[in-house]
Amino acid sequence: MASLLQEIAAPVDNNLLLFVAVPLAVIQALMIVFSLVGKTKWMRWVNIIFALVFLLFNVGFLAEAQFGWEYLLGAGYLLFNGLVVWYAWNWPKQGA
């Protein structure tokens, strides 16, 4: 399958994976951990801000989509980030 995709687009450079994909994955994992242990007041805004930043990346991904599965994947990304913003905005207010 990877050989089929490489014929469509240029292969992904390892530097791209190192400097983009890994930090984004770490940020997402830290968002989960800090949501569980952080103060509600601060974590609400951290999750909203990071989800909006990821939403902008995903709009860029969707703008460059060429195939049907890329549109579906981009729509899923947008939906997921929209849900993160919505849930963080509607968290019950508790003591800071």
Per-residue model confidence as pLDDT tens digits over 23-76? 878 888 888 888 888 888 888 888 889 889 888 888 888 888 888 888 888 889
Neighbours of 58 (CB within 10 A): 20
pTM value is: 0.65
- Spatial neighbors of 93 by CB under 8 A, at least 6 apart, are 40
Per-residue confidence (pLDDT) for residue 13, from 0 to 100: 65
Of 9-13, 16-20, 47-51, least confident by mean pLDDT is 9-13
C-beta of residue 84 within 8 angstroms of C-beta of residue 51: yes
Per-residue confidence (pLDDT) for residue 8, from 0 to 100: 59
